[in-house]
Chain A
Amino acid sequence: MNDHKFEQCIKCTICTAYCPVVAVNPLYPGPKQAGPDGERFRIKNKFFFDENLKYCMNCKRCEVACPSGVNIADIIHSARMRYGHQKPNLRDMILASTDLMGVMARPVAPVVNAVAGSKAGKWAMDTFLGVDQHRTFPKYQFKGFVGWFKREMEASQASYPRQIAFFHGCSTEFQHPEVGKAFVQVMNALGFGVQLLDEECCGVAMISNAMWKQAKQHARHNISAFEAAVAAGLPVVTTGSTCTFTMRDEYPHILGVDNAKVRSSIVLVEKFIHDLVDQGKVKLVFRKDYKARMAYHIPCHMEKLGWSIFTKNLLQMIPGADLTVLGSGCCGIAGTYGFKKENYAYSQAIGQPVFDEIARVNPDFVVSECDTCKWQIEMSTDYPVRNPIMVLAEALDLEATSAANR
């Protein structure tokens, strides 16, 4: 029985002190009630399921804080799947089907972007779909990452002595191909050839929006692709923190999709590079003229992965980097959560302390592995947000690094 260790709960209430939603929304029963408390009742009779569990952002901060090892948020989302009646409406399906929306929007990207950015368009989305009109939509790119890779880079990858598989994810493909480009540049400079996978969206937004069947399908598809890569000796390297977390942990814990053969091979690029440097297997040569004042915002799922140490250590290796690590705090968007009208105000209230701190630190830019954090911070503050792999790509002397790693 996959019980997420709910019996280990000793009712200490620490989780409730660290839940960002409890701090702003009294309708949410809190992680303790929604999780281990509620589970005993739901086991008795599914009638006891509380629809207000939908307010849980799945940020996992309760789990990070729990001194008893209880997978509180897993309990909550497994309960939504097992006992909930939530059926995704049109808006939820649109927001959660990132692959599909990307494929449809991309050919007409300028039009889509213009409409989504216009007052009339926002009003229409607010009124008819329930997407809050204050929310800034990320812009679709006409030309995606995969197309660029296949045209410009694919042919040369086999020449590199070592190979890795790259899970690029939806936002890199449809909105931020520059992240993928930076990734390939850095990997190549380190002597690694990049191969694409037969990948689908990781499905995290489907989990949030009760599209369980679709989420499981995506999970099985991806694990199958990863197993093939791992069997061929390729680790699966990623650039997005939430995708990584979802595929390593949410697949088995919530969707019940077994990933035991590949879990330890799914690794975020920051950990991947850091470990290689730490073991003396690669060298990083930085540009002497690179100078930047940066503030690192650790996404919630990075806190749960426990891997911010790798990103931090890498950024600190850059001689010209003036790095401030921001205090631990949720930016509030929680993926598709913050797009929804009924959640928007809560999202912004949750993120406000983060926005305030960024303003106080006043960096040149913010660094973060998560693209939805990026959208949230760029919408709510005056600061741009860069993925750490892009910072690395800018800060490295790619030629010298390439030479050093031959």
Chain B
Amino acid sequence: MKYDVVLIGGGLSSLVCGISLQRTGKRCLMVSGGQNALHFSSGAFGLLGFRPDGSAVERPLEELDKLPANHPYRKVGAAKMHEYVNRVKPFFASCGVMLDGDPERNSWRLTPTGTVRPSWLAMSDVTLYEDSVVSIGRKALIANIAGYLDFNTAFLAEGLEKAGVTCRLEAVALPEFERLRTSASEMRSVNIARVMDHDQVWKKFVEQVCVLLRDEDVVVLPEVFGLHDEHILEQIRESIPARVVFVGTMAPSVPGIRCQSALKTAFEQAGGEFLMGDEVISSEMDGERVLSVRTANLGDTVLEADHFVLATGGFFGRGLQATAEAVSEPVFGLDVDAPEERTQWYNPDFFAPQPYTRFGVHTSENLRAMKAGKEMENVYVIGSELGGADALCEGSGAGIAVMTGFKAAEMING
């Protein structure tokens, strides 16, 4: 089968790249080994949240020239970064995902443990604040679903109390959730959301919250609404006579799944072909050109393409693999930026920056993959498969995915 572009990996970077390409007339096929890391997204995207010294960034674009030369943003280039940041909201809106926030200035979001973290753009579940001292309100009612263990109300309350908000904790019990709770393990965010998304259920829930509400000006709820349709969030906000703030839970992420679903649909509606639960197992190359790939499921049906995009998601996505001796890239055997000595891969302090987070495929300035020191003509690397950034510590995971996704699409379009 012949395509213009084969994208390997089905995460945020690949979807952004693939949608962009498909909409400019390129025939794309995307191969994904399973569901992606958006399933664990907080619902907020980060462009650049922290400097290496740990201080918070206010205007990400002003920090670009301080980034090291092999940082993905440097490869995208300052001019393109400026152009792309203003493209993000309309792009996501065109896929049915409404994002809040100022593309050029960071805001703050409330985390499930009651702390605050810088955010760039966020889905409508997430409330964004102008300043780091979260001006959430004076008094908050934190309402959980009775029996739900993955929403840590104690931490949340303690964090808010530190910020000067008086908190009260309540739990709402409904027969529908009691039925869910009969399962020892499956009362998770997604399963609650599935039940909650029925009109009669979320309305009953909201009624109960209103009954519990006293003089609080803010109601805090877990992000267990709107698995498919975010309009429920709006309706809930309108039905409660207080400001409603949704806060994330343990995995999986309801807004993350909604976003992923919308992007995949947008890709397919634009004519893209998506293969779920498959992986590339071999390739045919001619010098520095990849001619075709084969996948586990398609067997002897060969996928030929003019361009290939490697968006295999680092260690989580299995795009990078580490044995006790070395780190490698399993699809094309590309060069990986990683030290040989295993003891240099990690930091013993869990909360300190971890060297392995920076590992990735070595690319040229143009995001083209390097193999045995040579630049591959038609293989682009995007997203967390790229090296050169500690996306976790600097808060740039989604930003790198989106920016490099746009950039690679533009380069392929020539």
Contact = CB atoms under 8 A, between A and B. Distances in A.
Interface in B291-316: 295-301, 316
Interface string A254-286: 000000000010000001001100100000000
Contacts of A16: 185-186, 188, 190-191, 252
Interface string B174-215: 000001111111101011001000000000000000000000
Contacts of A126: none
Contacts of A29: 183-186
A149 to B, nearest CB: 28
Nearest first, the 10 closest Cβ-Cβ pairs linking A and B are: A306-B297, A64-B277, A67-B34, A26-B183, A17-B190, A26-B182, A65-B35, A30-B186, A306-B278, A66-B34
A346 to B, nearest CB: 13
B1 interface: yes
B133 interface: no
A173 B83 CA distance: 62
Nearest to B278: A306
A23 interface: yes
Contact of A67 (B36, B185, B186): B36
Contacts of A27: 182-183
A352 B194 CA distance: 14
A23 B34 contact: no
Interface string A97-108: 000000000000
Interface residues of A, number: 36
Interface residues of B, number: 39
Nearest to B181: A26
B257 interface: yes
Given A17-B190, A26-B182, A278 B301 contact: yes
Contacts of A37: 185
Contacts of A30: 183, 185-186
B353 interface: no
Given A33-B185, A63-B277, A275-B300, A26 B179 contact: yes
Contacts of B85: none
A394 B75 CA distance: 54
A310 B33 CA distance: 19
5 contacts: A17-B35, A22-B191, A33-B185, A67-B317, A275-B300
Nearest to A65: B35
A49 to B, nearest CB: 16
Nearest to A305: B297
Contacts of A63: 277
Given A63-B277, A328-B276, 14 more contacts: A12-B252, A16-B188, A17-B39, A17-B252, A29-B185, A29-B186, A30-B183, A66-B277, A69-B279, A278-B301, A306-B276, A307-B297, A307-B298, A309-B273
Contact of A13 (B251, B295, B301): B251
B40 interface: yes
Interface in B95-153: none
A32 interface: yes
Given A14-B39, A17-B39, A65 B277 contact: yes
What is the predominant secondary structure among interface residues of chain A facing chain B? helix
A287 interface: no
A298 B36 CA distance: 21
A307 B301 CA distance: 10
A271 B299 CA distance: 10
B1 A32 contact: no
Interface string A52-68: 00000000000111111
B331 interface: no
A296 interface: no
B318 A67 contact: yes
Interface string B269-280: 000010111110
B35, B36, B182, B184 — which one has the most chain A CB atoms within 10 A of its CB? B35
A278 B190 CA distance: 41
Best-surrounded residue of A22, A274, A304, A305 (most CB of chain B within 10 A): A22
Contact of B186 (A22, A69, A310): A22
A306 B275 contact: yes
A200 interface: no
A303 B277 contact: yes
A18 interface: yes
Contact of B257 (A17, A23, A275, A306): A17
Nearest to A66: B34
Interface in B24-70: 33-37, 39-40
Contacts of A304: 277
A306 B194 contact: no
Interface in B1-31: 1
